[in-house]
Amino acid sequence: MRHNFLLDDNIIYHAIRGVDRHDNPDDTAARLIQTIVKVCHSLVIHDVVRVRYIKILDKLKHERAPSLQPSYFFSQLLKRADKRTFQYGDLPTLPAECNVPRKDEYLVQAALISRPLLVTGDEPLYNALKNHPELGIEVLYPHEALQRAREKLEG
């Protein structure tokens, strides 16, 4: 099964730095991105999210990356039309009862457009979405997303 993923920008950070959400060495996020490239999965990228990706890639471009070079992410996922779907236009309004962290509202709004698998290393965002299944957004930690992405390889 082909999956569409929406990556929180912290996943890009984790992949390039080779760390988990606690800054411990971990290449799960990098392996997730490499699996998305290898298998016929793709990213859903709203223009607001794309701008965030570019900012973090620019910030980390001179970083000695133990897991994933920033240029790999850029060339393999942002430039390849078969690996991404760009979305444009206004973001939908979040329901009033949805208590996602303010800094992540844009990401949830982008996910509401096409309901991709949202991958985050942010525990407050993860918990907020798990507590609001009525939004129809499936949220995964990187290790869960990697397992889901690999189902295509095994199946």
Model pLDDT for residues 52-80, shown as the tens digit of each residue: 988 988 888 887 777 777 777 777 777 88
Phi, psi for residue 100 in degrees, rounded to 5? -75, 150
What confidence category does residue 152 fall into, taking pLDDT thresholds of 50, 70 and 90? low
pLDDT at 62: 81
* Cα radius of gyration (the chain): 15
Which domains does the chain possess? 4-154 (3.40.50.1010)
Write the pLDDT tens digit of every residue in 8-67: 999 999 998 899 999 999 999 999 998 988 888 999 999 999 999 889 888 888 877 777
For 28, the enclosing helix (H) or strand (E) is helix 28-38
Q: What is the mean pLDDT of residues 117-134?
A: 96
> What's the mean per-residue pLDDT of the chain?
90
